[in-house]
Structure 1
């Protein structure tokens, strides 16, 4: 367990972020890991709060109240109703959390879900958290999205784009770059001495020897060969329709998938409420719940905190693994 608390961002104020933060505190207050929320304390309901001025206060206060590092919202919040006036505060919370993690004042950053449409409306130039965090705390390499649940880790090589654009974007170099980052992260963050990777084919049946497209022969297979030549244990391209059965999942530590839904569908099918989004290739540890803002149930009290609890626990675990390796 880390000695420094985790920084949790408020996410979209009209969504379920503060509700699941309060529920997560109830779940973790005795066993930890400790965290503090960067957000507006006026949003917190049903649990005691402790306003803190410095992250070092969070661990001491955590057993009795949810520690909150205040960041005021400029406009009143109505659950389920987006207001661009509050969008700059959402961005500021992420920036504050990252700066604290970079300074060693937070063990990791855990982000509540944001609403990309309202951020785009104020000129936010990034398609999502991953790309923004890469700008704030990157290492010169692309930030990579890994989704994890018990029994499965997946990485989409292309992410938030149309399927047509994803096929055009996919290159051997992009797959190789992701494979290197994933193999390194599995060693550094998950403590796997010799991680085993598999690579899904782009086309049905991994192209079936070119009869269903030549991308798997001309793009995917050369990338797999190059990664293997670097000493990475990797297989592929393999047909995606049989890659996620229980028997298949037991043979690898992470699957590289060629597009967004190829990766996210199996994770969300296996564990919709416990999946975690991890950003690889950063100077800090960052995790997030694997769900959205749930505007349709915001304010109803029905939000499930399971994915956030899993994200907090995994962030603490990764931070502890990294600290042992230093």
Structure 2
């Protein structure tokens, strides 16, 4: 039995709709249910000169490549490259309705395209990112993890100014993150005894306190406490050498202390096939690892690799959850 996945294009003025159109040309091991504006998808298909078949819930599909759609119209027709704040509510509605379908068990997982944060906020909706939105909707703590065929990198802090990062690294916060990552690797990724490499916050992981005390006062004691509970933890490691191939051998995921400590390395290793996985939700959620690419919208040059990788990853996670 195929899994059924929600597919949310995201910002209608960006590349999300055309990436969904490209996905509609492929055969997948899961059924895809699009939550978004049918008109925006048809405009993207016309711009790409590609066929697009959509059928509403309850209707018979026109062909094997026809996508089911939950039509959530935008108040204003999107113009490629020009986000419209008036569409903020419908973009968020597509995300929350898809999430609710996953919570209800109607769908088995969720794949999301890029959302334009500034347009959502300009539309009067407080929004820091889809990960936070889905966590609040489900009422649970989550962790952002990016993954590609080379590595998995989870984040202790996400979208924070650098000067605020150290204050957010507390024993409770670090323990919560590590437990979520460990549990998700066991239950969603099927790794019986995951090994997590934990980066230090400071250069050289603090140099025994000479370059900062966060490692000695917070990270080391937390890791020791969790090791006593059975978690397989390595570190804290200096970030400048932790991603060497020999260091990654036998490691199932790396925990970086902040956004730009870990993600540039992962994206340099393989940007096209990287995905963003939200750990801790009651259902699998996988997103593309790139933004709205407004400058590419409607030109037919956007690379769909990350969306395709996200669909493939979510299909695997959903199958594991159901199995």
Which residue in the other structure is 1:81 paired with?
Answer: 82
Task: Provide the aligned length of Structure 1 versus Structure 2.
Answer: 316
Contact 1:20 1:305 in 2 (8 A): yes
Residue 52 (str. 1) matches residue 56 (str. 2): yes
User: RMSD of the alignment, in Å?
Assistant: 1.5
Which residue in the other structure is 2:176 paired with?
Answer: 177
Which residue in the other structure is 1:278 paired with?
Answer: 277
Shift of 1:276: 0.7
Contact 1:274 1:306 in 2 (8 A): yes
Tell me, what secondary structure is at the counterpart of 2:240? helix
In 1, the alpha carbon distance for the partners of 2:54 and 2:67 equals 6
Which residue in the other structure is 1:315 paired with?
Answer: 314
Which residue in the other structure is 1:234 paired with?
Answer: 233
Which residue in the other structure is 1:291 paired with?
Answer: 290
Residue-by-residue CA offset, 1:21-52 (whole Å, 9 max, x unaligned): 1112223x2x4332121111222212222221
Question: After TM superposition, which residue ranges in structure 1, 4 or more long, deviate above 4 angstroms?
Answer: none
In 2, the alpha carbon distance for the partners of 1:62 and 1:138 equals 38
Tell me, what secondary structure is at the counterpart of 2:34? strand
Shift of 1:211: 1.4
In 2, the alpha carbon distance for the partners of 1:93 and 1:256 equals 31
Contact 1:138 1:283 in 2 (8 A): no
Unaligned 5+ runs, structure 1: none
Shift of 1:62: 6.5
In 1, the alpha carbon distance for the partners of 2:173 and 2:188 equals 22
Contact 1:48 1:65 in 2 (8 A): yes
- What does 1:199-238 correspond to in 2, within 5 Å? 199-238=198-237
Contact 1:4 1:105 in 2 (8 A): no
In 1, the alpha carbon distance for the partners of 2:154 and 2:229 equals 20
Of residues 182-191 and 31-40 in structure 1, the stretch that sits farther from structure 2 once superposed is 31-40
Contact 2:2 2:29 in 1 (8 A): no
In 1, the alpha carbon distance for the partners of 2:219 and 2:203 equals 13
Q: 1:62 to 1:215 in 2, by over 3 A?
A: farther
Which residue in the other structure is 2:156 paired with?
Answer: 157
In 2, the alpha carbon distance for the partners of 1:51 and 1:117 equals 32
Contact 2:40 2:77 in 1 (8 A): no
Unaligned 5+ runs, structure 2: none
